[in-house]
């Protein structure tokens, strides 16, 4: 008998559905080919199994976290200068909002769950800023990472000696979840606005 | 309006909405949810105190009391920190074997235990690493590994003494702020990759000492409260799981589990159906009492997962898993085919599309 992680199964199913056309419009808007999208998903599956390694006495890195970062870098460097600027802006806004809500909202999850907040902020920011799915993806991904890095700096300043682990791979990590959620939000709001706009034109 | 201003304006609008949301009572930016000594009181229909907790209580939160009465919160006064609940029903608890819970989600389809292994693994971690116990640790919060880590270690040790493999992560999820659950999600994913049978997030509450102090077997221990998040798709199974553990605890050690709080939030319980948050005593209890309480709870966990009721459910599992694998494959294939045909707009179109999908297209 063979064991198989649930998230890997889900990713496999998503890959199959992708071949069948699911998310076609989202991929179109992110200007990804079928091959690129499938490779990205397969690489995410692989990232789930990568281990955590100690870099220093204070920092450990989950190698799986490099996978979504690599994907984000690929999306960023294969796009225009304007898009790069937009992605950077969305990322900074997302990171700032995550940081502020972490500090100002109540400790326990409830209003605006901290796991989904990054995706929501990146999605909304990207929607306001040119409705860019690529920027939404990069903003959700890197925004969460920036806040984690800021947390590490804060702990160093506060003299915490324990080792901190950065990053995680897999579809359900907060970084990847934020990225996909951000794209989904941008797509949904964009489609809704288009539908309303078309409906208004028909009434006229 | 200039186009460049729209994203800035949008972000400002969003930020102002967030800042108008409820904030921690204490103005200190780095502090806990409620200052030490402050807590919410949940009162029942007759005004009786059902629960005292440092967790913020929201409308529609539910609480299963020690005597198995389910209450729902109907009114909350955040200034006075008082909430009022109405009785929904008296629950007849029963123990649902954990293999049956996993089958409800189809998980036995994709996992099969090593038949030679007697006991599996239980995973433990702490989202709020800093939580400590004032009488023993001298403070309610130690910025690093707090007293809660020693309670976790006691839990792990008690399980190991019973022959259970323990995956105990002491990874830090500091700073002690709202982002801790986002950071601990990565720890949960790492632990889940090792395929434990269950995962526990070990915390302590913030409440008067009397809320958790209980005497069992002539010893003072702290009782334990379960917290189940209402905002995740596994809520139904998590509820049955929590109730099963409580039922078993009630039989083995009456009074050990003080109740189950169904609160707003996710608590990363969407990642696994057998995931539970434990409040082991409060900051006003001694850590030694908490360690004794959680050690008794280890026996309950061992009994639930590897005891007589679990053995009975194990029989016929292998056959059920084989049938379930075939069933899932058939279901997924059928569902995918239906989706494909509907999306394509008919059988002929679907066939053409399938031919086209096999040739990778350039979308640029």
Residue B217: how many other CB atoms lie within 10 Å: 8
Higher pLDDT, B264 or B350: B264
Q: Are residue B177 and residue B209 in the same domain, yes or no?
A: yes
* pLDDT confidence tier of residue B70, bands split at 50, 70 and 90: very high
3-state secondary structure of B64: strand
One domain for residues B337 and B259: no
Q: Does B195 share its domain with B281?
A: yes
The 3-state DSSP class for residue A153 equals helix
Please tell me whether residues B224 and B322 are part of one structural domain: no
Of the candidates B172, B159, B157, B209, the residue with the CA atom closest to the CA atom of residue B37: B209
Structure-token pair, residue B9: 């304006």
Is pLDDT at B346 greater than 90 in this prediction?
no
- Residue B284 and residue B248 share a domain: yes
Does residue B125 carry a pLDDT above 90? yes
Looking at the structure of chain B, the number of domains it has is 2
Picking from B260, B280, B307, the residue at the C-terminal end of a domain is B307
Sign of CA dihedral B239, B244, B249, B250: positive
Range name among A93-97, B97-101, B348-352 with the lowest pLDDT average: B348-352
pLDDT of residue A162: 72
Tell if the CB–CB gap between B181 and A114 is shorter than 8 Å: yes
User: What is the model's pLDDT at position A203?
Assistant: 44
Give the pLDDT of residue A20.
Answer: 47
Summarize the confidence of residues B93-101 as an average pLDDT: 88
Given this model, what pLDDT does residue B71 score? 97
List the domain range (segments joined by +) for residue B166.
7-23+118-307
Number of domains chain A is built from: 1
ipTM exceeds 0.85? no
Residues B200, B339, single domain; the answer is no
Residue B334 confidence (pLDDT) above 70: no
The answer to whether A39 and A142 are in contact (CB under 8 A) is: no
Average pLDDT, chain B: 81
Strand partners, A59: A164
Q: Is residue B58 part of a domain?
A: no
Count of other CB atoms within 10 angstroms of residue A152:
17
* Residue B155 placed within a domain: yes
User: With 0-12 CB in 10 A as exposed, 13-18 as middle and 19+ as buried, what is A1?
Assistant: exposed
Instruction: Tell me whether B25 touches chain A (CB under 8 Å).
Output: no
Are A64 and A173 within 8 A, CB to CB?
yes
Which of B265, B280, B307 is the last residue before a domain boundary?
B307
B128 and B259 inside one domain: yes
Q: pLDDT category, B251, cuts 50, 70, 90?
A: very high
- A-chain residues within 8 Å CB-CB of B181? 109, 113-115
For chain B, positions 145-204, list CB contacts with chain A under 8 A.
Answer: 145, 171-172, 174-183, 185-187, 189-190, 192-193, 195
Residues B153 and B272 in one domain: yes
What would the two tokens of residue B70 be? 């389910």
- Beta carbons of A139 and A98 less than 8 angstroms apart: no
Contact B357 A20 (CB under 8 A): yes
Cβ pairs bridging A and B (under 8 Å): 201
My answer on whether B125 and B258 are in the same domain is: yes
For tokens 């008067």, what's the residue? B208
Q: What is the CATH number of the domain that holds B157?
A: 3.40.630.40
- Residue-level pLDDT at B139: 93
Q: Is residue B171 part of a domain?
A: yes
The structure tokens listed for B23 are: 């904030």
State chain A's mean pLDDT as an integer: 76
Mean pLDDT, rounded, for B246-254: 95
Residue with the two structure tokens 């929590």: B242
Enumerate residue ranges in chain A where pLDDT < 50. 1-7, 19-20, 201-204
Q: Supply the pLDDT for residue B211.
A: 94
Max distance between CA atoms of chain B, in angstroms, equals 77
Cβ distance of B339 and A4 shorter than 8 Å = no
- Does the pLDDT at position B138 exceed 80? yes
Mark whether B17 and B159 lie in a shared domain. yes
Strand stretches in B65-176, DSSP E: 69-77, 82-90, 121-125, 165-168
Q: Does residue B32 register a pLDDT over 60? A: no
- Which of B36, B179, B339 to probe by mutation at the A interface, max A CB count within 10 Å? B179
Q: φ and ψ at B62, to 5 degrees? A: -125, 160
Domain enclosing residue A109, as ranges: 4-203
Say whether B111 and A106 touch across the interface (CB within 8 A). no
The whole-model pTM stands at 0.78
Q: Tell me: do B162 and B274 sit in the same domain.
A: yes
- Among B261, B279, B307, the domain boundary falls at B307
Q: Is the minimum CB–CB distance between B242 and chain A shorter than 8 Å?
A: no
Between positions 163 and 182 of A, the ones with CB within 8 A of B are: 163-165, 167-168, 170, 172-174
Residue A140 near residue A75 (C-beta atoms within 8 A): no
Q: Is residue B19 within 8 angstroms of chain A, CB to CB? A: yes
Is the residue at B181 inside a domain?
Answer: yes
User: Rounded mean pLDDT of B214-243?
Assistant: 91
Asked if the model's pLDDT at residue B115 lies above 80, the reply is no
CA-wise closest residue to A180 among A79, A75, A108, A89: A75
pLDDT in tens, B176-209: 888 899 889 989 988 988 889 999 999 999 999 9
Strand partners of residue A20: none
Within-domain flag for B229: yes
pLDDT surpasses 60 at B278: yes
Percent of chain B with pLDDT over 70: 74
**In this predicted structure, what is the pLDDT of residue A28?**
62
What is the structure's pLDDT at B67? 95
With respect to residue B2, please indicate whether it lies within any of the assigned structural domains.
no
Structure letter (DSSP) for residue B361? P
Contacts of A144 in chain B (CB under 8 A): 182
So what's the pLDDT on residue A1?
A: 28
Strands B224-229 and B121-125: unpaired
- Give the pLDDT band of residue B98 (cuts 50, 70, 90): confident
């Amino acid at each position: 008998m063979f064991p198989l992680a649930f998230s890997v199964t889900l990713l496999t199913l998503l890959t199959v559905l992708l071949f069948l056309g699911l998310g076609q419009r989202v991929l179109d808007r992110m200007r990804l080919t079928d091959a690129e999208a499938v490779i990205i998903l397969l690489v995410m599956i692989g990232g789930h199994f990568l281990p955590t390694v100690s870099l220093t006495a204070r920092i450990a890195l989950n190698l799986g976290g490099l996978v979504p970062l690599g994907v984000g870098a690929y999306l960023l460097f294969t796009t225009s200068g304007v898009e790069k600027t937009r992605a950077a802006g969305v990322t900074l806004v997302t990171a700032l909002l995550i940081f502020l809500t972490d500090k100002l909202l109540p400790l326990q999850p409830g209003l605006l769950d901290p796991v989904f907040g990054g995706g929501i902020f990146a999605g909304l920011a990207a929607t306001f800023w040119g409705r860019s799915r690529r920027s939404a993806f990069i903003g959700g991904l890197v925004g969460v990472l920036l806040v984690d890095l800021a947390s590490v700096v804060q702990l160093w300043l506060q003299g915490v000696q324990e080792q901190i682990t950065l990053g995680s791979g897999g579809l359900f990590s907060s970084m990847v979840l934020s990225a996909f959620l951000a794209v989904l939000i941008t797509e949904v709001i964009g489609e809704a606005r288009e539908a309303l706009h078309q409906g208004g034109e028909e009434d006229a | 309006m200039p186009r460049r201003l729209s994203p800035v304006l949008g972000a400002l609008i969003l930020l102002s909405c967030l800042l108008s949301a409820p904030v921690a009572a204490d103005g200190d930016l780095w502090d806990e949810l409620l200052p030490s000594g402050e807590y919410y009181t949940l009162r029942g229909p007759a005004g009786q105190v059902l629960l005292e907790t440092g967790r913020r209580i929201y409308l529609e939160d539910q609480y299963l009391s020690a005597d198995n009465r389910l209450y729902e919160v109907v009114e909350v006064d955040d200034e006075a920190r008082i909430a009022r609940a109405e009785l929904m029903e008296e629950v007849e608890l029963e123990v649902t074997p954990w293999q049956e819970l996993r089958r409800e989600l189809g998980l036995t389809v994709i996992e099969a235990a090593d038949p030679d292994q007697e006991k599996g693994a239980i995973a433990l971690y702490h989202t709020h690493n800093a939580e400590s116990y004032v009488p023993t640790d001298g403070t309610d919060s130690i910025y690093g590994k707090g007293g809660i880590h020693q309670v976790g270690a006691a839990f792990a040790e008690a399980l190991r003494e019973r022959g259970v493999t323990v995956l105990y992560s002491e990874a830090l999820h500091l700073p002690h702020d709202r982002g801790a659950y986002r950071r601990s999600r990565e720890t949960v994913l790492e632990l889940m990759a090792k395929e434990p049978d269950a995962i526990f997030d070990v915390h302590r509450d913030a409440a008067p000492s009397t809320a958790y102090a209980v005497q069992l077997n002539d010893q003072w221990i702290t009782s334990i409260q379960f917290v189940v998040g209402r905002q995740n798709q596994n809520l139904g199974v998590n509820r049955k799981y929590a109730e099963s553990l409580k039922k078993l605890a009630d039989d083995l050690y009456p009074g050990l589990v003080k109740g189950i709080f169904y609160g707003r939030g996710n608590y990363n319980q969407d990642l696994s159906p057998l995931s539970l948050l434990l409040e082991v005593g409060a900051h006003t209890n001694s850590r030694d009492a908490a360690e004794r309480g959680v050690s008794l709870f280890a026996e309950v966990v061992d009994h639930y997962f590897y005891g007589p009721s679990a053995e009975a459910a194990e029989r016929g599992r292998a056959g059920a898993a084989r049938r379930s694998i075939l069933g899932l494959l058939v279901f997924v294939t059928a569902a995918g085919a239906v989706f494909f045909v509907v999306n394509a707009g008919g059988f002929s179109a679907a066939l053409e599309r399938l031919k086209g999908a096999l040739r990778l297209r350039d979308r640029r």
